Every structure is written in C-alpha cells, then in structure tokens.
Amino acid sequence: MRIAMIGTGYVGLVSGACFSEFGYHVTCVDKDERKIAALLAGKMPIYEPGLEDLVANNVRGGRLEFTTDLAGPVSGADAVFIAVGTPTDRRGEGYADLTYVFAAAEEVAQHLRDYTVVVTKSTVPVGTGRKVHKIISEKAPRADFDVASNPEFLREGAAINDFMRPDRVVVGAETDRARAVLRDLYRPLFLNETPILMSGLETAELTKYAANAFLATKITFINEIADLCEATGADVQEVARGIGLDGRIGKKFLHAGPGYGGSCFPKDTLALVAQGKDANAPQRIVETVVAVNDERKVQMANRIVAACDGSVRGKTIAVLGLTFKPNTDDMREAPSLDIVPALQKNGATVRAFDPEGMAEAKKHAELAGTVFCDNAYDTMQGADAIVILTEWNEFRSLDLARAKSLLRTPVLIDLRNIYRPEDVVAAGFSYTSVGRRPASPPKRPRSVSAVG
Ligand code: UDX
C-alpha cells in the first residue's frame, strides 16, 4: 500500500509517520521547502513526544519520505490524504478557510493515474468532500478515483498513542471500493478491535465537529460549575468525580481550568456555529460555549488581580506555562495570550517560563514586554505571585520553600488545580485555585492550660 500525505502540519506529519509504522510506504508532501529540508535533516517542525524517533526509524527503514514535489507520490499512491490547514477564515464569522484544501484537490487531480482514494483528513465542514469530488472530476474527467473522509481525533502531546490506539476510526465513503481501501489501511488496528465506523461523507465530516464541540462543551460546563462551587463552598474536583463515575457522563474532560485553547476546539466550535447558521439549524449551545470560554480567559486575569490584594500595578507576576496544554509547544489560542496582556494592562510586569513553548511564545505580539526566563525559579525572583497557567509535570512538585524564599510575597494562583490546597497553605502561601474551597491556614497547636 502506498500513501501520499499532502501537508506536513500536525495531523499530516503524525498520521504519515504512524501509517509508515504500520508498514506502508508513505510520502509526506509540503510546499514549504524549509520545512521539508528540516524534516529531511531529521528536525521536527513541532514538539510531539516520540515523533522524532518514529520518523527517524521509518525513514531509516525506507518507508517514510519527504518531498516538495506532489506529482510522483500522488501518481503512485493507493490513497492520497489531504491534511492541509483549515484555519478560521480571516473575513470573520467563524467559517473554515478551505483555500488550501481546494488547491490541494486541484493539484492532486492533475497527477492521478490508477484507481486512487482521495481522503480528506483535515477538519472540513460538511459538504467539503463532495466539493473535492467535483473539483477533481472537472479537472481530470477521466480519473478513476473516489473521495473519502477520515477525520482525525489526535490530541497534541498524546498524538502517536491516539493514532495507534484510537477509541474509533471514522470513515465516510460512498463506494465499496473506497471502503475496502480504507479498511485495509486501518487493518493493523483490528488486533486491538478498534471500531471502524463506516458512514457517508457528510456524517463523517460532521462527526468530527460534533466530537470537538461536545468536548469543548463538557469543559465549559465544568468551568461554570467550578464558579458555582467557589460561590457555595463546594469542591469542583469532587463534583467532577461524582458525576464522572456515571458511565453516561464519563470521567474525562471534566478538569476545570482557565478555559480551553489550542488549534482545534476554538476553530471547530466557531466553524460548527457558522455551519448551523447556514443550514438554518442554529447551534445555540455551542454558540454559548464559545462566548463563555472567551469570557473566562478575561475572568482569569481578574482572579489573579483579586488574589494580589486587588491590584497588580507595579507588581511582578511569575507565570509558569504559556502553551495551551502540556507536552506541546503549540501556543495557538492559549489562555496565556489573553491573560498575560490583561495583567500587563493592569500595570504588572510578567516574568514567564514554559518548558517547550518559549520559542513559539516569543513570536506572539500579545506577549511583547514579557520577561522570558530560563526556568521556573528564575521567574520567581522578586515576584509578588506565581501563576500556574499550564500543568506541565515539572510544575507539579515545585520546591515551595525555595519558591517562598525567592518571592516578595508568597502567593500562588493555581489555575490548573495541580496542588493540594492544604500543602500550599502549610508551606506558608496564600493559595487560589479553581472551584475549590480556600484552604484555611494551619492551626497553631493550642496551648494547654492546666485546669485546676
Ligand atoms: C483536541 C481533541 O481532543 C482531539 O480529539 C482533536 O482532534 C484535536 O483537538 P487538543 O487540542 O490537542 O485535542 O487538546 P485537548 O487535550 O483536547 O485539550 C484542548 C483544550 O482543553 C486545552 O486547552 C486543555 O487545557 C483544555 N482542557 C481539556 C481542559 O481545560 N479541561 C479538560 O478536562 C480537558
């Protein structure tokens, strides 16, 4: 089986490398010459645990290649995957910009030879598969091909495992021939009894949006419950466990925090809302989720200000974590991009550190004026508070005594709930977290008076 993977972004690169690990011959194609040159030199354009080794092994094994030239790989392929970006359209309204998908389809059309399945892997609005079919048919009327949809559900930081051990594989295809090719491609997963869901094109396309919108809703729901917990003295982690053990609800994606970010949820929720409007089937729940999540990031800055005795003017804030989640260097829609500027606007100096995201962070204009530090303790020099924005493992067991000695005032604002309130308070800190009761300071041993 031979695969051409068009686009070496997150999805394309991880999927291409994983398919080559299955034993297929994969050629990853990208127009970006610098990216391809770097990949040929063994340098990954993204930080993803395990990816570099996976790529190196399969390149060495002759199963994985990189090129800027689409012609050869497409004409020899059984399946061509389109995995190019679908960013939010710059004109607003949330529509996905399909320019790159359609351009790729036109180019692919020119090089199809024997029967080929052209598979959209990019997240594309309902109806895109049919448009791709039309573009190829018009450009190459005699081409022997089918179009299929095979959305990905990879999480950054866990992408390889998600590809190799998925909960399910979703395939939208309209012919037995296309279904057979896709079923063959995923045959290595049959061993783990991975469900392969076969449907029509539209259903597969919509399944992807519905999955991401539902997960974004779940997070936003628990975030609002966290606010209610704070107002009423309940504990959101216990509430999450209490509802999560109900099999109908499920334990995952119930961690309250500063709001979701990343390359998918913000973009896909907006695109789903836009599709709902177009189809006259409004997606009011998801619309609200988008608005609540946007507001939450602003609220988080207010929470930090409140924890700093009501003002951060002239104060220094040590920010730990800038990426939208751990184990990635991705800064897209990260809560830090809203929270850090809001603190600076309120007169704070921000010192920040992220284990993998520093290079990306420095490219973001929103973070201009931030003092980028070498490590977690460096951020704390003379700071008035620590804020944990991303739950990187190395922030989970900070030496609190050392932190206290570096800070001007011992204040810890933990927006990921990675500390136990009683431990932090026992270390002499004032501690603010999300949706949990503030811990009371440790009780002094009572002096025992002699009762006579
Ligand atoms: C997501 C989907 O999970 C994946 O299936 C899809 O195909 C791509 O988008 P990703 O964006 O990599 O993956 O990260 P994910 O782990 O889903 O987290 C997204 C955001 O939600 C992060 O900002 C994270 O911090 C936040 N989140 C997640 C929470 O705030 N609470 C949770 O319980 C889970």
Write the pLDDT tens digit of every residue in 171-180. Answer: 999 999 999 9
The pLDDT value given to residue 96: 84
Specify the CATH class of 2-199 in words.
Answer: alpha beta
Atom 5 of ligand 1, residue of closest alpha carbon? 153
- How far CA 27 is from CA of 60, 81, 252, 335, 388, in Å, comes to 14, 10, 35, 35, 41
Q: Do domains 2-199 and 297-432 have the same CATH topology?
A: yes
| Distance of CA 265 from the midpoint of ligand 1 (Å) | 7
Atom 13 of ligand 1, residue of closest alpha carbon? 155
How many CB atoms neighbour CB 75 within 10 A? 16
- Scanning 143-186, the segments in alpha helix (DSSP H) are 159-164, 176-185
Residue to mutate, 169, 236, 253, ligand 1, most ligand atoms under 8 Å from C-beta: 253
Beta strands 79-82; 64-67: pairing state? unpaired
Q: Do the beta carbons of residue 101 and residue 108 sit within 8 Å?
A: no
Q: Token digits for 247?
A: 């099999």
Query: How many residues are given for the chain?
Result: 452
Q: Do the beta carbons of residue 312 and residue 304 sit within 8 Å?
A: yes
The DSSP string of 222-265 is HHHHHHHHHHHT--HHHHHHHHHTSTTT-STT----S---SSSH
Protein residues with CB under 6 Å of any ligand 1 atom: 152-156, 212, 215, 219, 253-255, 257, 260-262, 264-265, 324-325
Atom 26 of ligand 1, residue of closest alpha carbon? 260
Atom 2 of ligand 1, residue of closest alpha carbon? 155
pLDDT digits (tens, 9 = 90+) for 376-396: 999 999 999 999 999 999 999
Please state, in angstroms and rounded to a whole number, the distance separating the CA atoms of residues 82 and 310.
51
Displacement of CA 232 from its chain's centroid (Å): 32
| Distance of CA 19 from the midpoint of ligand 1 (Å) | 23
Atom 9 of ligand 1, residue of closest alpha carbon? 264
| Distance of CA 78 from the midpoint of ligand 1 (Å) | 32
Sort 258 into a burial class: Cβ within 10 Å, 0-12 / 13-18 / 19+. Answer: buried
Q: Which of 217, 212, 204, 341 is nearest to 288 (CA)?
A: 217
- Scanning 115-170, the segments in alpha helix (DSSP H) are 128-139, 159-164
| Distance of CA 315 from the midpoint of ligand 1 (Å) | 32
SS3 410: coil
- How far CA 193 is from CA of 20, 21, 168, in Å, comes to 20, 18, 9
Q: Token digits for 37?
A: 């040159």
Tens-digit pLDDT profile for the chain (452 aa)? 999 999 999 999 999 999 999 999 999 999 999 999 999 999 999 999 999 999 999 999 999 999 999 999 999 999 999 999 988 886 677 888 999 999 999 999 999 999 999 999 988 999 999 999 999 999 999 999 999 999 999 999 999 999 999 999 999 999 999 999 999 999 999 888 999 999 999 999 999 999 999 999 999 999 999 999 999 999 999 999 999 999 999 999 999 999 999 999 999 999 999 999 999 999 999 999 999 999 999 999 999 999 999 999 999 999 999 999 999 999 999 999 999 999 999 999 999 999 999 999 999 999 999 999 999 999 999 999 999 999 999 999 999 999 999 999 999 999 999 999 999 999 999 999 999 987 666 555 554 444 43
Residue to mutate, 156, 243, 293, ligand 1, most ligand atoms under 8 Å from C-beta: 156
The pLDDT value given to residue 452: 33
DSSP 96: B
Atom 6 of ligand 1, residue of closest alpha carbon? 153
Please state, in angstroms and rounded to a whole number, the distance separating the CA atoms of residues 148 and 37.
30
| Distance of CA 451 from the midpoint of ligand 1 (Å) | 60
Displacement of CA 148 from its chain's centroid (Å): 25
How many CB atoms neighbour CB 147 within 10 A? 26
| Distance of CA 27 from the midpoint of ligand 1 (Å) | 29
From the candidates 28, 229, 264, 308, give the one annotated as an active-site residue: 264
Q: What are the residue boundaries of the structural domains of the chain, listed by start?
A: 2-199, 297-432
Ligand 1 atom with the shortest distance to the CA of 268? 9
In the residue annotation, 264 being an active-site residue is answered as yes
Q: Which amino acid is at 317?
A: I
Specify the CATH class of 297-432 in words.
Answer: alpha beta
